[in-house]
Amino acid sequence: AFASQYRERALSLAILEMVLPGFGYEQVMQMTPQGGLWHFSFHLTPDLPEMLIAGKEREYLTYFLQNYIYDPSSIPQAEIDAYVRDYSAPGSLRATLNYYRAIVRDAEDTRAAGRQKLTVPVLALGGVLALGEMTKVFASEIAEDIQGGAVDRCGHWLPEERPDYLIEVLPAHF
């Protein structure tokens, strides 16, 4: 949104392990025989997720942190504890779920902004065991100058799983 709205100020953009609402997000949400990203629709549901997750934040987060990852040991227990503490704070879970609930409106806004492609360099990376090349493929719909692709030995949690790689590529890109 910033890169589109403030084109004269944005010098570059990095997109890590996501596809933009309105440009691929909806396709990624769809169910597959393997289950797909079922949790997107679950998170969109008003109030029910909060009711089912409250008091079970550790189980909920551990499921995602351990099942969308290449190497489960790359997120130490102390970090999981910090996530659980933060998600358990009053209002935190609802705020997180509201990100998903805003997707329909975000998709409309992103499609409108995407009518004029970005001209700044865009680095689009996805974990090989998660979105992989899809991040780059869908980013090419909103930008002219795209680099990136699938990151080896990585799932959904790029900063946690491959900080070494990001420390190398992000400063070079920016």
How is 136-171 classified by DSSP, letter by letter? Answer: HHHHTTTEEEEEEEEETT--S-HHHH-HHHHHHHHH
Residue 168 half-sphere exposure toward CB, CA atoms < 13 A:
7
Report the DSSP beta bridge partners of residue 124: 15, 148
Q: What is the pTM of this model?
A: 0.88
Residue 30: what pLDDT?
64
- Find residue 146's DSSP bridge partners: 122
Query: What pLDDT does 36 receive?
Result: 64
Sequential pLDDT tens for the chain (174 residues) = 899 999 999 999 999 999 887 777 666 666 555 556 788 889 989 999 999 999 999 999 999 999 899 999 999 999 999 999 999 999 999 999 999 899 888 888 888 888 899 999 999 999 999 999 999 999 999 999 999 999 999 999 999 999 999 999 999 999
The confidence score (pLDDT) of residue 31 equals 53
Q: What percent of the chain has pLDDT over 90?
A: 74
Measuring CA to CA, which residue among 17, 4, 7, 22 is closest to residue 165?
17
Q: Distance between CA 101 and CA 4 in Å, rounded?
A: 22
| Residues 6+ away with beta carbon under 8 Å from 130 | 17, 68, 154, 155, 156
